[in-house]
């Protein structure tokens, strides 16, 4: 039994989809960003970085998307390719870190530039630079997917959940997505998966709670 601390639309969507795909038993704890719940001592005791996701496991709390992904892939089969050689495992880790350390910071600058700069001109410039930085990354992802099904070919993996979340954030940020038909088709395939539908339904419930409480989500 796991507990995932999450917020709708945030990168906690990656483990949310992963847990659904794994068929894991889990609860979700809604983290109310607008009440700064993630900066309160009770949450910081679980994740001192004050961010989602945080996954409570039988081995204790775990943070950072790549680490959560690797841990869950160890606990359940079918979430990441099985690596025989160290170099193959290192490449899988590199893929996950590409999402968290390269793509995610660009997404944050695109979607919440006001957290990175002061004043309308500086904020506009941060967003423009982020869009510029995303263009070669989007091409890389689109080329990598090609006309294949998933990031690793025929087998679905957590990498698909990760790039799906990035796609959702850039589409919502008005990033021009037309030049990336493979990534767009990938997102449609993701939306059709029952586990993804269940994860998105959980998020919709959280979103309704926030709306009822008059709290709009804020994400990085």
Ligand X SMILES: N[C@@H](CCC(=O)N[C@@H](CS)C(=O)NCC(=O)O)C(=O)O
**Footprint of ligand X on residues 165-184 (CB under 6 A)?**
none
Interaction between residue 100 and ligand X (CB under 6 A):
yes
Using CA atoms, how far apart are residues 181 and 143, in angstroms rounded to an integer? Answer: 10
Tell me the helices (H) and strands (E) count for the chain, helix number first. 9, 4
**Contact residues for 131 (Cβ-Cβ < 8 A; gap 6+):** 110, 175
| Candidate list 2, 16, 65, 134; residue touching ligand X; CB under 6 A | 65
Interaction between residue 10 and ligand X (CB under 6 A):
yes
CB of 9 to ligand X, least distance (A): 8
As to burial, measured by CB atoms within 10 angstroms (0-12 exposed, 13-18 middle, 19+ buried), residue 177 is middle
Interaction between residue 11 and ligand X (CB under 6 A):
yes
Which residue sits closest to ligand X, CB atoms considered? 51
Q: How far is CA 61 from the centre of its chain?
A: 18
State which residue, 52 or 187, has the beta carbon closest to ligand X: 52
Q: Are 186 and 123 in contact (CB under 8 A)?
A: no
| Candidate list 103, 130, 196, 219; residue touching ligand X; CB under 6 A | 219
| Candidate list 64, 95, 142, 160; residue touching ligand X; CB under 6 A | 64
Could you tell me if residue 167 is left (phi over 0), alpha (psi between -120 and 50 degrees) or otherwise beta? Answer: alpha
Interaction between residue 130 and ligand X (CB under 6 A):
no
Which residues contact ligand X by CB under 6 A? 10-11, 33, 38, 51-53, 64-65, 100, 104, 219-220
């Amino acid at each position: 039994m796991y507990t995932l601390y999450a917020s709708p639309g945030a990168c906690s969507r990656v483990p949310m989809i992963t847990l659904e795909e794994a068929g894991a038993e889990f609860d979700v704890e809604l983290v109310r960003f607008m009440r700064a719940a993630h900066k309160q001592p009770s949450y910081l005791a679980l994740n001192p970085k004050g961010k989602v996701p945080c996954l409570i496991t039988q081995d204790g709390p775990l943070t950072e998307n790549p680490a959560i992904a690797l841990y869950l892939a160890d606990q359940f089969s079918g979430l990441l390719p099985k690596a025989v050689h160290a170099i193959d495992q290192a490449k899988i880790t590199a893929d996950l870190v590409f999402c968290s350390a390269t793509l995610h910071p660009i997404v944050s600058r695109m979607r919440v530039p006001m957290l990175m700069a002061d004043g309308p001109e500086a904020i506009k410039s941060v967003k423009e630079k982020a869009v510029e930085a995303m263009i070669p990354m989007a091409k890389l992802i689109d080329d990598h997917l090609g006309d294949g099904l998933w990031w690793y070919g025929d087998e679905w993996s957590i990498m698909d959940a990760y790039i799906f979340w990035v796609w959702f954030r850039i589409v919502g940020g008005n990033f021009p997505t037309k030049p990336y038909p493979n990534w767009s088709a990938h997102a449609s395939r993701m939306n059709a998966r029952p586990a993804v539908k269940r994860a998105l339904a959980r998020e919709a419930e959280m979103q309704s709670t926030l709306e009822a409480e008059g709290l709009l989500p804020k994400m990085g």
